[in-house]
Structure 1
Amino acid sequence: MLKPTKALRSGLPPGPKGTLIGGVAEKFGDGLLDFFLETAQTYGPVASGRVGPNRFFLASDPALIEQVLVRDARHYKKHFGVRAFIPALGNGLVTSEGAYWRGQRKLVQPAFMRARVRRYAPVMAAITEQMLDAWSPGDQLKINFEFSNLTSQIALKTLFDLDDAGDRQHFTDTLNLAFDIMMARLSRVLKVPLWFPTPETLRLNRAIAELDRTVLGFIAAGRARERSGDDLLSRLLAATREDGSRMSNRELRDETMTLYLAGHETTALALTWTWVLLSQHPHVEDKLAAEWARVLGGRTPRLEDMERLPYTHAVLTESMRLYPPVYVIGREATTDLELGGYRVKRGYTVLMSQWVNHRDPRYFPEPERFHPERWEDGLAKRIPKFAYYPFGGGQRICVGNAFSLLEAAIILAAAGQRFRFRVDADADLRFKPQITLMPAAPIPVTLEAR
């Protein structure tokens, strides 16, 4: 057992009790975000609760989050919530552990070096312009579907060098179906084994089999190419371990599925929620449009323009503060530990919610206000490291964060120069928290010429 540096308090931290059998399991659904925020505000920097037999702590102080993700990271592993998604994600970077994870991270990391990511800027811009050319003022769109389709095209081109992805929407629908089922299973105390043929498990297993066929087809196409390309799959196919071995098809499947999800859906969500916020705050949109007019003059943004678009980056930063695509992360203790003066027993999970921390008034006055200007005077350097952490932190910080930020800035500036997105007055803007911050329903918009 790791020896605590100070005397431990007796018992558990305060927190919501829930029911005798399920604990607070019923809260792990549509009301999850409010539950996290209310728990932190009511019970303080360390709170405790139970989901069925699983005990969790909710840590909301940045120093405690840094302790878990950095100083004590080697004594934690991914929590039960993440493991619930292993059927779809496999043993990729999000779900793998220990020496295997370190080895895979070492193989994958070079493909996301800043210089290599920057090479994809022209691809991102070109595919975005193709989408915009097909739009006209007055068109009515489902904005989350459109941006998901766009980032899917970009991901498939940069991941697999594929221009024709077939039925992308069907692939996305299949992925969403799998995640809907896995999220529903997570909220239940008693779970039917996946091998038991209920209608639900049969749907899930069919969806996963279809995803496997699609991704393994991409991998087979990559192996069949005569020449190695500049796409990420080519780099993963060529990556070798110290013993000279390379990734198997299954390893490639798990990593590419993880990278596809991480590099596709999270960026689409960031853009979706950004345009929702902009439609509600026209003065921010007008200031953005002025920056684009001054720097870009109507042309497609290029890599060299990125440093001259500070307000664009501030808007995206503020959007991901309010609506972080990944809203909670968790770690399970592999030995007895100390956190905030309490004993974290082996098997306990520590949850850390970006949704909560990004609304801390100590660091973000008027935390519910959409105010990009707060980032213009060096706020990021003044606040604690884990007051704002949309991409996680520590060794397991998102490997594709630079890719995502570059992609989001290019798409936002390209689309925003040509169109305004007017969200329908009766749009359902509620959230459906899965592994990411999904909208509860399609978000309809009407395009207006800029």
Structure 2
Amino acid sequence: MSRSITIAKAGLPPGPKGTLIGGNISQIGPRRVDFFLDLARTYGSIASFRVGGWHLFLVSDPELIQQVLVTDARHYVKHFGARVFKPILGNGLVTSEGDFWLSQRRLMQPSFLKSLVLSYAPIMAELTTAMLSKWAPGKAVDLEFEFSGLTSAIALKTLFGLDDHGEREKVDQSLMEAIDALTARLDKTFSLPLWVPTPTNIRLRRAIANVKALVDGFIARKRSRPLANDLLSTMIMAQREDGTRMSDQQLRDEAMTLYLAGYETTALTLTWTWYLLSQHAEAERKLVDEWARVLGGRIPNADDLAALPYTSAVIHEAMRLYPPVYAIGREATTDLELGGYRVKRGYTILMSQWVSHRDPKYFPDPERFWPERWLDGLAGRLPKFAYYPFGGGQRLCIGSHFAMMEATIVLAAVGQKYKFTLAPDAVIDIKPQITMPPKYGMPATLELR
């Protein structure tokens, strides 16, 4: 059995030597994905490193990843990196554990039934059209900013039924301030508890309080009006088998989790997709040809999605090279065996999509942007955890179908009207946080198609 440790090797998997106090923290650096990739390529499919007092294994073999996320899932919890974000995400689906998580997942699953998700396509099309109406040929834009604004508006409308631009800006500003501050804590060997009144902690607590107050207001407003066709309404009405429903606090935690996951990841997928297309004219030409043939200039609806295979392939390939979430972590709650090594209770297992998606065993010429690789049934031939941009196992992203539909509709609607030319002085780099935004934005100029 996978839990047995009688056959485990003594000691840790191979890995780089670190310092006595900080371990390998100084080697990781701001582009931590490069460290992960070097680690896997140097030491193999299971390697080890240390951050302060935390022992971590980096696992990149699909079978080992499946063992962690599926076979032995009940013996792991989210790792310390995910728990850092509990002050903002509360006890939502991303951060909750055990029986409570399972109860919440079952309670929320009906909110993401295919029929309900497809009903949001007109909202996505309407808000994309509104964004396009504000654009003009020759205008300089930051693609990340533009797509973040759009997907945030879509998230607010589909989640809360809200159209207010000012409320969206307030939520986004406070949320990003909190996320940036919490992310910075991951890069430190030691951080003071949030209750210590340092200037940074005071700003962080204020940002968290602002977001929570805004979302509490959305929930109160929703409860005071007739329920509608939005996710919050379905969550308010959802009942467990014993007839109980979510409290306002749990509604807030789930809503904040869905809002963050529902806009930033899709915005980044669109941003990196257009970056890659701007560098690969032939792929862009094939996309435009598919849109002309299938759509003829109109915005796609839910019924068009199956008729856009190259569009789907482009999005899958962009998420392969620039996965919105670049790593998943689990902490062992008991002693385990993995890959022949003993995983002690408290050790963390990291699995990086950035690393797995660049494995030449499954993706020949892995750094190449080549959407065609997805057109001959590759997804069905790959091991389950060779490609997993939405995670996997029981904790597969609940909104994965929503995100794919949104990315397809927006990409086709925008791309039929405009193409993008990167600013000649643009510096393109990544800034790994929970997600992977471009470090300096994505400046480009609009050109009519």
Q: TM tier, shorter chain?
A: over 0.9
Contact 1:156–1:165 (Cα < 8 Å) also in 2: no
**What residue is the counterpart of 1:46 in the other structure?**
46
Task: List per-residue Cα deviations over 1:157-187 (Å, max 9, x = no partner).
Answer: 1000111142423422322221111111111
Cα distance in 1 for partners of 2:183, 2:165 equals 27
**What residue is the counterpart of 1:245 in the other structure?**
244
Query: How many aligned residue pairs are there?
Result: 449
Contact 2:156–2:168 (Cα < 8 Å) also in 1: no
Task: List per-residue Cα deviations over 1:189-239 (Å, max 9, x = no partner).
Answer: 1111100111110111011011111111111111111x2111000000111
- Structure 1 vs Structure 2: percent identity of aligned residues? 61
- 1:376 counterpart letter in structure 2: L
Report how far residue 240 of structure 1 moved: 1.2
Contact 2:40–2:60 (Cα < 8 Å) also in 1: yes
**What residue is the counterpart of 1:320 in the other structure?**
319
Report how far residue 6 of structure 1 moved: 6.8
**What residue is the counterpart of 2:408 in the other structure?**
409
Which consecutive aligned stretches of 4+ in structure 1 deviate over 6 angstroms post-superposition?
Answer: none
Q: Equivalent residues in 2 for 1:38-437 (5 A)?
A: 38-225=38-225, 227-437=226-436
- 1:31 counterpart letter in structure 2: R
Cα distance in 2 for partners of 1:244, 1:62 equals 40
Counterpart of 1:359 in 2: which secondary structure? coil
Counterpart of 1:385 in 2: which secondary structure? coil
Cα distance in 2 for partners of 1:293, 1:159 equals 32
Task: List per-residue Cα deviations over 1:44-76 (Å, max 9, x = no partner).
Answer: 011011111111100000000000001010110
Report how far residue 10 of structure 1 moved: 1.2
What TM-score, normalized to structure 2? Answer: 0.98
RMSD after superposition: 1.3
Task: List per-residue Cα deviations over 1:351-393 (Å, max 9, x = no partner).
Answer: 0000000000000000000000000000111111100000000
- 2:65 counterpart letter in structure 1: I
- 1:432 counterpart letter in structure 2: K
Cα distance in 2 for partners of 1:2, 1:335 equals 12
Report how far residue 3 of structure 1 moved: 4.4
Cα distance in 1 for partners of 2:169, 2:142 equals 13
Report how far residue 29 of structure 1 moved: 4.4
Contact 1:15–1:43 (Cα < 8 Å) also in 2: yes
Alignment CA distance shift 1:29-1:214 (3 Å): farther
- 2:401 counterpart letter in structure 1: A
**What residue is the counterpart of 1:449 in the other structure?**
448
Cα distance in 2 for partners of 1:26, 1:399 equals 35
Greater mean alpha carbon deviation, residues 234-243 or residues 57-66: 234-243
Contact 1:6–1:341 (Cα < 8 Å) also in 2: no
Counterpart of 2:427 in 1: which secondary structure? coil
- 2:94 counterpart letter in structure 1: V
Cα distance in 1 for partners of 2:74, 2:243 equals 27
- 2:201 counterpart letter in structure 1: T
Greater mean alpha carbon deviation, residues 10-19 or residues 88-97: 10-19
Greater mean alpha carbon deviation, residues 277-286 or residues 167-176: 167-176
Cα distance in 2 for partners of 1:444, 1:2 equals 49
Counterpart of 2:87 in 1: which secondary structure? helix
Alignment CA distance shift 1:72-1:28 (3 Å): same
Cα distance in 2 for partners of 1:256, 1:371 equals 36
Alignment CA distance shift 1:126-1:57 (3 Å): same
Cα distance in 2 for partners of 1:442, 1:27 equals 25
Report how far residue 100 of structure 1 moved: 0.6
- 2:409 counterpart letter in structure 1: I
Report how far residue 246 of structure 1 moved: 1.1
Cα distance in 2 for partners of 1:201, 1:296 equals 51
Counterpart of 1:432 in 2: which secondary structure? coil
Greater mean alpha carbon deviation, residues 397-406 or residues 438-447: 438-447
Contact 2:36–2:352 (Cα < 8 Å) also in 1: yes
- 2:32 counterpart letter in structure 1: L
Report how far residue 302 of structure 1 moved: 1.1
Cα distance in 1 for partners of 2:4, 2:242 equals 39
Cα distance in 2 for partners of 1:439, 1:27 equals 21
- 1:256 counterpart letter in structure 2: A
What TM-score, normalized to structure 1? Answer: 0.98
Alignment CA distance shift 1:29-1:229 (3 Å): farther
Report how far residue 419 of structure 1 moved: 0.1
- 2:393 counterpart letter in structure 1: G
Cα distance in 2 for partners of 1:307, 1:384 equals 23
- 2:211 counterpart letter in structure 1: L
Counterpart of 2:166 in 1: which secondary structure? coil
- Please list every run of 5 or more consecutive structure 1 residues that lacks an aligned counterpart in the other structure: none
Cα distance in 2 for partners of 1:122, 1:89 equals 29
Report how far residue 268 of structure 1 moved: 0.3
Contact 1:26–1:187 (Cα < 8 Å) also in 2: no
Cα distance in 2 for partners of 1:327, 1:343 equals 25
Counterpart of 2:416 in 1: which secondary structure? helix
Cα distance in 1 for partners of 2:350, 2:402 equals 26
Contact 1:29–1:433 (Cα < 8 Å) also in 2: no
- 1:396 counterpart letter in structure 2: R
Cα distance in 2 for partners of 1:275, 1:173 equals 25
Task: List per-residue Cα deviations over 1:292-347 (Å, max 9, x = no partner).
Answer: 01111111111111111000000000000000000000100011100000000111
